[in-house]
Amino acid sequence: MSGLPESFAAIEGVEPARLELDGVSKSYGETTVLDRVSLTVARGEFVALVGPSGCGKSTLLKMVAGLEFPDAGHVRIAGTDVTDVRAADRDVAMVLQSYALYPHLTARQNLALPLVMRRLTGRQRLPFVGRFLPGTRAQLAAIGADVEKAGRALKIDHLLDRKPAAMSGGQRQRVALGRAMVRDPRLFLMDEPLSNLDASLRVHTRAEIVDLHKALGATTVYVTHDQEEALGMADRVAILHRGRLLQVASPEIVYRDPSRIEVASFIGSPSIGLIEAVIDDRGRAIVFDRPIAEGFAAQAGATVRVGIRPEHLRIGGHDDAILPARLDRTEFLGADALAHLRLPDGAPIVAKATPEIYRGFVPGPVGLAWNAADLLVFDAAGDRLRPRFDAATVTAERAHV
Amino acid sequence: MSDHALALPALPAVAPRRRVDHDDRAALSLVGPIAVLMLLLLLAPTAAMIALSLTDAELGASTITFVGLDAYRDVLGDRTFLISAKNTALYVAIVTPASVGLGLGFALLIEAGTELRGFFRSAYFLPVVSLITAMATVWQYLMHPAIGPINLLLHVVGLPSINWLGSSDNVLGSLALIGIWQQTGFDMVLFLAGLGAIDRTLYDAAEIDGARSAVDRFRLVTWPMLGPTLLFVVTITMINAVKVFETVMTLTQGGPAKASEVLLWTIYQEGFVFLHLGTASAMAVIFVAVLLVLIVFQTRVMDRRVHYG
Ligand SMILES: Nc1ncnc2c1ncn2[C@@H]1O[C@H](COP(=O)(O)OP(=O)(O)O)[C@@H](O)[C@H]1O
Ligand SMILES: [Mg+2]
């Protein structure tokens, strides 16, 4: 949209770089922030790094940028080990979480800065004197042209002579984006670039960033705590939880086939319903004395957690019900509606459907039903338990591995 | 206050009158006490000083006559006052850049180093909290021409000894040295606070943008972000320097040969030694006026350059 790809076609992209993180760990004193994280991002790929606040996303991204250094493990960019190379020498572009624009410089100067730093020598950058050294003028003119081009592409050309204080949050965000992309990065890092924007601007800018990535082709690592953003934008999603990388897969796989209970809970909104069950001697999961799923190899008596996505939960009469429940209330959300329910032990669970389906529902006793194939079951340690002999899941598993 | 009350009826009556009156009274009762205090403690003495400067008042004399601007003419033609003004200007011109520069330098060093940070912080702040009159005696000893450790040290390295406070060529420089020693620690602490308030992520951005050297980072982030602090430090330092008095009072008494005659010392002599209240007041008015011009210049003109918000 918005003519972005066309404007960027003129900028000859640098070869996008492949990024490899190999067993990267980091602790601050006693607290382990990152625990043996390994991740490979292919050339030109868009990977979203997602996880709850404080799980170590920014720390990991800074490690890729060269602003933090790992205690153990290696970082390789385009095949070169850069573990101990500082940021200024890594040639990586990054949009910082708070944008970090230089408040005393105009947008134009902010955009020009990375180019000035890289294309001019130390002597050429001297105040007053530098201007008269051979080549400075030509370089500055080229930089000015590049800044104008980036400004037009991001539609901030009319803001170029303003200082950050005179801009809205959205405009600042674009300037920060511009400062990162103006130098044709081979690796593009973004730390929650949309988290300071209001909801409608966020959806709009999301699409623009995806277009930008398509046009530039740069390898991109995009950090967000918003799972919806990650699913919607990325080629692959990497889920970080308490410093450990739990799963890296396409948005569809992490949603449909999570490998850990934390992934299942974090991805999807409203989040997945979890019911505690016990495996009986025939491999069935038992809740409130009723079998709700079967075919598990787990030991009899083992506790498992059975996950049901809200859209897989059907509300019906008592006859075909797998579990009895109570409907507390329904919630109209426009295209969707939610039903807030309680299980016999009082635990809340949410169902989602189109509003027509819940029309006329009144609070009171109901029955819950689902397709066994839709259940996601996890053992006590949080690892995924897959029913034996289930052809569909086995295929999915193979595709994933 | 009364101006505001008088202006009210002229305003378009948008809000109900009673409400406005009520708010007004609340505002008055809140501002009132401090306004009265300011009137009594700041404005009244200033007004009295201005009034006195227009008379020939002398302590002990039985009559006071209004002489208009005569006192000012006398003062501006007075050799001692002019020497005093020149000396003060010179003192300020030495002490301000030196202590601001040193303060910034020390602050940057302390900020960069991790160990001993606390020690240096208190060591350099010591002059600020120590009583300057007491420390002046120490300086007198240090700078003593015969037994002073500084001259002894010079002797050891084979340099000629210097008559620090006793020679009219050196005395202002020596006082300035003490002034710098006094002010540097204070400036440093202010700069440390300013450095601490700089957004760390700007340094991350600078690093990503390719600022490799400490000089690059300083030019790109530290210096511009320190602007408001610098303005404040320079203002405070200048005001403190203009007000130099204690060292002159305890060490040199303005001498030798008026070589360390400074404004506050001259005013003090005129008013409390010669008891010429009228002349002393005129000098004080000129002194305050110069100070005000300095402050207004710095806050109005410089402020626009250092605040980016
Ligand atoms: N410089 C630091 N010193 C100590 N702890 C830190 C430092 N930086 C980050 N942390 C801690 O590391 C954890 C992860 O931080 P961060 O990477 O910023 O999380 P996220 O970006 O995912 O919200 C947090 O618990 C934070 O308190
Ligand atoms: Mg973060």
Concatenating the DSSP letter of every residue in B188-241 gives HHHHHHHHHTS-HHHHHHHHHTT--SHHHHIIIIIHHHTHHHHHHHHHHHHHHH
Residue B21 pLDDT? 66
Q: Hey, where are the domains in chain A?
A: 9-256, 270-399
Looking at residue A391, its pLDDT comes to 43
Strands A303-308 and A376-379: antiparallel
Q: Please indicate, yes or no, whether the overall pTM of this predicted structure exceeds 0.90.
A: no
pLDDT band at B20 (very low <50, low <70, confident <90, very high): low
Q: Atom of ligand 1 at shortest distance to CA of A51?
A: 22
Cα(A254)–Cα(A322) distance, integer angstroms? 27
Cα R_g (chain B), whole angstroms: 25
Compute CA B293 distance to the chain's CA centroid, rounded to the nearest angstrom: 13
Encoding tokens for residue A17? Answer: 């770089």
Nearest CA to ligand 1 atom 6: A28
Contact B266, B78 (CB under 8 A): no
Considering chain B, what is the average pLDDT of its residues? Answer: 82
Are A256 and A396 in contact by the 8 Å Cβ rule? The answer is yes
Atom 26 of ligand 1: nearest residue by CA position: A54
Q: What is the CA radius of gyration of chain A?
A: 26
State if residue A57 touches ligand 1 by the CB under 6 angstroms criterion. Answer: yes
Determine which residue's CA is closest to atom 12 belonging to ligand 1.
A33
> Which sign, positive or negative, has the C-alpha torsion A232, A233, A237, A240?
negative
Q: Tell me the per-residue pLDDT of A328-373, one tens digit each, with 9 for 90 and over.
A: 999 999 999 999 999 988 999 999 999 999 988 899 999 999 988 8
Instruction: Give residue-wise pLDDT tens across range B230-279.
Output: 988 998 899 899 988 888 888 888 778 888 889 889 989 888 888 888 88
Classified as helix, coil or strand, A186 is coil
Longest dimension (CA), chain A: 88
The confidence score (pLDDT) of residue B153 equals 87
Residues A376, A308: Cα–Cα separation, whole Å: 7
Nearest to A280 by CA among A313, A304, A251, A315: A304
Maximum distance among all Cα pairs of chain B, rounded to whole angstroms: 85
d(CA B138, CA B178): 11
Q: Which of A110, A113, A126 is the best residue to mutate to test the B interface, defined by the most B CB atoms within 10 Å of its own CB?
A: A113
Pick from B201, B211, B309: CB nearest A88: B211
What one-letter code names the amino acid at A109?
A: Q
Which residues have C-beta within 8 Å of that of residue B303, sequence separation ≥ 6?
Answer: B231
**Smallest CA–CA distance from A112 into chain B, residue:** B209
Strand partners for A19: A41, A77
Question: For residue B299, is pLDDT > 80?
Answer: no
Chain B residues with CB within 8 Å of chain A CB: 199, 201-202, 204-205, 207-213, 216, 220-221, 224-225, 227, 308-309
Bond prior to B256 in cis (omega within 30° of 0): yes
- Cα of B303 to nearest chain A Cα, Å: 13
* CATH class as words, domain A9-256: alpha beta
Q: Give the tens place of pLDDT for each residue, B63-77.
A: 778 887 888 888 888
Q: In terms of CATH, what superfamily is A270-399? A: Nucleic acid-binding proteins (2.40.50.140)
| B309–A88 C-beta distance less than 8 A | no
- What is the pLDDT at residue A11? 46
Residue listed under structure tokens 């009469």: A317
Distance CA B80, CA A194 (A): 68
**A98 within ligand 1 shell (Cβ under 6 A):** no
Name beta bridge partners: A141: none
Copy the structure tokens of residue A321. 């019900």
Return the ligand 1 atom nearest residue A56 CA: 17
Domains of chain B: 70-308 (1.10.3720.10)
CB of A56 closer than 6 angstroms to any ligand 1 atom = yes
Ligand 1: residue whose CA is nearest its atom 20: A54
Give the one of B216, B225, B308 whose C-beta lies nearest to A163's C-beta.
B308
Kindly indicate the confidence band of residue B309, based on its pLDDT and cuts at 50, 70 and 90.
Answer: low
pLDDT value at A241 more than 50:
yes
SS (H, E, C) B159-175: CCCCCCCCCCCCHHHHH
Dist CA A394 CA B101 (whole Å): 72
In this structure, the strands spanning A19-28 and A72-77 are: antiparallel
Inform me whether the pLDDT recorded for A100 exceeds 90. yes
- Does this complex have an ipTM over 0.85? no
